[in-house]
Structure 1
Amino acid sequence: MKWQGRRESGNLEDRRGMSGGKVVAGGGIIGVIILLITMFGGQEAQNLVPVIEQFNQQQNTQTTERELTAEEIETGKFVDALLTDNEDVWNKIFKENGMTYKEPNLVLFTGQVETACGGATSASGPFYCPGDQKVYMDMGFFAELKSKFGAKGGDFAVAYVVAHEIGHHVQTLMGTSGKVRQMQQGMSEAEANKLSVALELQADFYAGVWTHHNEKVNQMLEPGDIEEALSAAHAVGDDAIQKKMQGHVVPDSFTHGTSEQRMYWFNKGFKTGDITEGNTFEKIK
């Protein structure tokens, strides 16, 4: 992916090299592994929770500080460029549709972090907190995405995840997230899960929309980039995660969508670039 030469966003908070404080499980793309099982998996799946928690246990709970490495500094510049590109695209799309885009902050952290949604650890994976309208990312997630869940990795896998989480911010600004949460009240578990899936797939669609528009302006894509995004989308499908963690799938417990669905909606956003084509609530492929 070509990303050098962008302006600085001004909305990046780099908290890496600092750790400590309360450790509480959070939510995000990989956080579905624990949250899906504890909330929706049933008694059989509940038995897997201790194994998964041990699998992702954070060892350092003492407050420490260290200097960032040269590689970490370069990574920070890369994430800043992604944030900048997302700002440019969504400011333009919102303006064209008579709306105002409020730019979110993106927080890079190591180990654990406190947010308006509570504390979170690296095991949560990247996530968006509507309480403070910030995206939180521990970059160690991407190594695990590749080593434990079979994704190809690469810089555009990072771009896809950033764009997906900012897609959740777009949903917050448009009121979609709030409406979904209201609709879920009083629903059966299976029906509420279907709405959660639609919300996540729409964020994948928005990631594709961002890719479409950013490519037009910056010609960022290199051979293999889209494949990296699709590989990441495939790796974090509910069915892929459940097969990996428990050997079988429970469709009624899905909260993020299957690998096929996630790839489909990212591709649709990438090919159309049209936010009106992303009604995942009407028809989930």
Structure 2
Amino acid sequence: MKSGAKLSIGGIVMALIAIFVFNQDPMQVVTNLIGGQNSNTTTQQTNYQPSAQEQDVYDFVSVVLADTEDTWTSIFRQSNEKYPQPTLVIYNDRTPTACGTGQAASGPFYCPADQKIYLDLSFLGELKRMGASGDFAVAYVLAHEVGHHIQTVTGISSKVRTAQSKTNKVGQNALQVKMELQADCLAGVWANQTQKRIQFLESGDLEEALSTAEAVGDDTLMKRAGVPPRRENFTHGSAKERMDWFNRGANTGSFGACDTFRGVL
């Protein structure tokens, strides 16, 4: 991926999402959550002193966020709509949010109440051993969280939460999977449209994203943890589903191709 800061920190993606999947029940997260390169990019750093390595990551994700803003602004403009840009909050350990206290153990997350993406960088020392690599993997996970922002500002999230309130745990998880797969697809749309706009992809970038999507599939994570994969316990989708939906967005560049809720909502 071409950018002002070139890193090989894809391990952050696997670890953060793995922590998110296993340490946080999706409906508990919902309960808690609902309770920079251009001048338009909003990145908020809370009160802590980042290490030199963390500062590099901070700079990199700011570049990625700026790219997502430019691309989604253009996509929204095609429908005569204005894209309300999210804010990226970099924090350490825990931070107050409009959705309650954000904790590092939750991994990266999007808070719909304040339309901010929260990312803790203190994992870096521990995450190097996770095995995945590539800066585009980091771009993928940030673009996935931006996908949740898109779902919020277009009203999709609200419809999903209403539907979840009317069903049981298995039904709630199934809807959550569709939510996550759509965010994967929207990350692919971002990659497609940004490539058309600035030719930012390098050889192997999309493969990095697909490998990361495979690594963080519910079945993959459960097997790694020694837990038999059970579909009713999935919250993000299988490895194949995550790869397929990201690929669909990346191949088509179309928001309409990301309707994971067809026939449901």
TM-score by length of 1: 0.76
Partner of 2:19: 30
User: Where do 1:77-156 residues align within 5 Å?
Assistant: 77-141=59-123, 147-148=129-130, 150=131, 152-156=132-136
CA–CA separation in structure 2 for the residues paired with 1:73 and 1:170: 27
5+ residue gaps, structure 2, are 6-15, 29-46
CA–CA separation in structure 1 for the residues paired with 2:26 and 2:181: 20
Amino acid corresponding to residue 108 of structure 1 in structure 2: I
SS at match of 1:223: coil
Amino acid corresponding to residue 23 of structure 2 in structure 1: I
TM-aligned CA distance change 1:37 to 1:276, over 3 Å: closer
CA–CA separation in structure 2 for the residues paired with 1:193 and 1:78: 33
TM-aligned CA distance change 1:207 to 1:153, over 3 Å: same
TM-score by length of 2: 0.81
Q: Deviations over 1:187-208 (max 9, x none)?
A: 1221221111001000000000
Partner of 1:3: 3
Report how far residue 222 of structure 1 moved.
Answer: 1.4
Report how far residue 66 of structure 1 moved.
Answer: 5.8
Is the Cα–Cα contact under 8 Å of residues 142 and 158 in structure 1 kept in the other structure? no
CA–CA separation in structure 2 for the residues paired with 1:4 and 1:270: 23
Is it true that 1:160 corresponds to 2:129 in the alignment?
A: no
Report how far residue 37 of structure 1 moved.
Answer: 8.9
TM-aligned CA distance change 1:246 to 1:276, over 3 Å: same
SS at match of 1:246: coil
Partner of 1:170: 150
Is the Cα–Cα contact under 8 Å of residues 204 and 265 in structure 1 kept in the other structure? yes
5+ residue gaps, structure 1, are 6-26, 40-64
Is the Cα–Cα contact under 8 Å of residues 130 and 172 in structure 1 kept in the other structure? yes
Partner of 1:17: none
**Max Rg structure:** 1
SS at match of 1:89: helix
TM-aligned CA distance change 1:144 to 1:219, over 3 Å: farther
Q: How many residue pairs get matched? A: 237
Is it true that 1:270 corresponds to 2:259 in the alignment?
A: no
